[in-house]
Amino acid sequence: MARTGVLLTAFGGPDCLDSVAPFMCSIMGTEPSEQMLTEAQRKYLTIGGFSPLPAMAERIAAQLERVLNGISLAEVTDDDGGTLGLWGGAMASLRTTESVRIPVAVGMLHSEPSIEGAVARLVDAGARQIVVASLSPFEAAATTGAYLEAVTTALDAHPGVRLMESASYHRSDDFIGLYADNLNEALHEADILANKGIIIFTAHSLPVSDIEADPSYVDQLRESAAAVAAGAGLGDPSGFHALPGIEAFGGPGVTAPWLLAYQSKGRRGGEWLGPDLDDVIDAAIAGGFAVVIVCPVGFAVDHMETLYDLDVKAADRVLSAEKEFVRVAVPNADPKYIEALAGAVRKVL
């Protein structure tokens, strides 16, 4: 029987159009209006009719379980992994059939499989301590904080089970190295030496009031963005001045300027983290930049914020101005990301 279990947590996402309403209701705490629901369903239709996050989280968990138990990673083909497999709606299980000492379960905050159910499965497997590792790489009350709160509540039904947090991995060599490699591929694709380009690191915007209460989110994002920029040979964050009227964390760059911007602002009132991605794109277009390279360093897995907000909305904003748009790939289930998660778990075992 396993003594330690790993709970891989994430925000969640609808697995079909019928799941959009309950997903939104869970986030909002109330039923969405007909207009809001229709708008959300249209966005999901644009990216295939569902969120790929739950299926990708399961794939990551299966591979992480293998690594933590000394089992080789499963080979992934176009039929059971990657974008093709996820969008096709079918993915063969990558779970090992061998007995494991450390099981890994997936728990979502706002969709199935739930955190409560995942905790119960790990306890049923014999876990007496549960290590929580998040697919959200950066600390924030709305994500990692809410996940831990949900796990704590779920453990009320299982007295005696110990809760542990994995170490942070936002500065791990594997996570940073993978993003730097992906960014370098994008820079090569954009031929940054021949074209006037700008690199925009992005992350989900949050209310400024949340950051005033705990600045960890912004601090960690800046650390990661600076590390990825250095890994891609862009130079240090010595001050961003490439776009008049845009104040941001970033630098002049060796081959192109870079900065950190925020996207996907929510409906809650008040001031939100900026600069806003749309404003930065508009300023870049006005500033004569021919290529806009967006690196969503704030995200580890593809979902609405990357597949729609970037690949559809932001891309259209750039392409409509007859400029080139390039989006850097997120980690998803890349072996280096699996190693980053495994390293974060091992540090607390």
- pTM for the predicted model, two decimal places: 0.94
As a whole number of angstroms, the distance between CA 140 and CA 137 comes to 9
- Kindly state the helix (H) or strand (E) to which residue 106 belongs, with its residue range: strand 104-108
* CA–CA distances in Å: residue 123 to residues 4, 96, 118, 214, 287: 9, 19, 9, 32, 57
What pLDDT is recorded for position 96?
Answer: 87
List pLDDT tens digits, range 67-78: 999 999 998 865
As a whole number of angstroms, the distance between CA 216 and CA 285 comes to 32
- For domain 4-166, the question of CATH label 3.30.70.1230 is answered with no
As a whole number of angstroms, the distance between CA 346 and CA 341 comes to 9
295: nearest Cα among 189, 186, 194, 195: 186
As a whole number of angstroms, the distance between CA 319 and CA 298 comes to 23
Peptide bond into 113 cis (omega under 30): yes
In the chain, residues under CATH classification 3.40.50.1400 are 4-166, 173-327
Q: Phi then psi for 60, rounded to 5 degrees?
A: -65, -45
- Structure token pair of residue 35: 């207009």
What pLDDT is recorded for position 93?
Answer: 72
What pLDDT is recorded for position 268?
Answer: 86
Report H helices in the chain.
Answer: 20-28, 34-46, 53-68, 82-87, 115-124, 146-154, 173-190, 208-213, 216-231, 277-286, 304-307, 315-319, 335-346
List pLDDT tens digits, range 237-266: 999 999 999 999 999 999 999 999 999 998
- Structure token pair of residue 126: 């014999």
* CA–CA distances in Å: residue 309 to residues 108, 110, 120, 306: 21, 20, 35, 6
265: nearest Cα among 325, 203, 217: 203
As a whole number of angstroms, the distance between CA 252 and CA 140 comes to 29
Kindly list the averaged pLDDT for each block of 10 residues, start to end, along the chain of length 349: 89 97 96 96 97 96 97 76 41 78 97 98 96 97 96 97 97 98 96 93 97 96 98 97 97 97 92 98 97 98 97 98 98 98 97
What pLDDT is recorded for position 267?
Answer: 83
Residue 164 CB neighbour total at 10 angstroms: 15
List pLDDT tens digits, range 88-124: 333 447 898 888 999 999 999 999 999 999 999 999 9
CATH number at 173-327: 3.40.50.1400
207: nearest Cα among 197, 215, 219: 215
